[in-house]
């Protein structure tokens, strides 16, 4: 019984404990893969930031920035959640405690993901990047990644509806 109580008390600490690993892959500006002890790979989605998608302006720039900052380096991370794709959402730290999400926002290569963050200092960094027209803020038509993904979903759904209508028409003929 004592062990069960101890396990319940320590599990939150274990969930939010720091882990370290070497960055072996950059999928995009806000997704990296780290190699842990025992050659185990773990995909991490950066917490509190949303970078442009691959098809968006500055998507490649965000990926390159992330690569320049952490690729091949040993980083520490704190897992905060898991997303719907099974990726661990994590706060990633490198080079003497630099916070990668903060650096992306400061450089104008990511949006503060305010829906999932309470850190308003990141919002202030985004405002500074906007005022300075840094990174993606050079584009007067910059579209938040969540809006871009929504638009792509709606287009895909529309295409599917049109394809279904065409099949029904052919089937009726």
Active site residues: 45, 53, 87
Structure tokens at 172: 């009726």
SS3 of residue 135 by DSSP:
helix
As a whole number of angstroms, the distance between CA 8 and CA 64 comes to 41
Contact criterion met (CB below 8 Å) for 77 and 70: no
As a whole number of angstroms, the distance between CA 125 and CA 132 comes to 11
Cα first-last separation, the chain: 72
Q: How would you class 125 by CB atoms within 10 Å of its CB: exposed for 0-12, middle for 13-18, buried for 19 or more?
A: buried
Structure tokens at 18: 């720091």
SS3 of residue 78 by DSSP:
strand
């Amino acid at each position: 019984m004592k062990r069960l109580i101890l396990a319940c008390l320590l599990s939150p600490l274990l969930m939010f404990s720091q882990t370290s690993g070497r960055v072996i892959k950059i999928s995009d500006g806000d997704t990296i893969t780290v190699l842990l002890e025992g050659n185990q790979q773990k995909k991490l989605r950066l917490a509190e930031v949303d970078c442009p998608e691959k098809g968006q302006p500055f998507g490649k720039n965000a990926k390159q920035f992330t690569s320049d900052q952490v690729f091949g380096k040993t980083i520490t991370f704190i897992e905060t959640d898991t997303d719907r794709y099974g990726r661990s959402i994590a706060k990633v730290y490198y080079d003497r405690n630099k916070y990668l999400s903060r650096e992306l926002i400061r450089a104008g290569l990511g949006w503060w993901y305010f829906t999932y963050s309470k850190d308003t200092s990141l919002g202030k960094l985004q405002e500074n990047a906007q005022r300075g027209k840094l990174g993606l803020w050079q584009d007067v038509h910059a579209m938040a990644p969540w809006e871009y993904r929504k638009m792509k979903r709606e287009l895909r759904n529309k295409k599917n509806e049109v394809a279904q209508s065409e099949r029904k028409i052919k089937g009726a003929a």
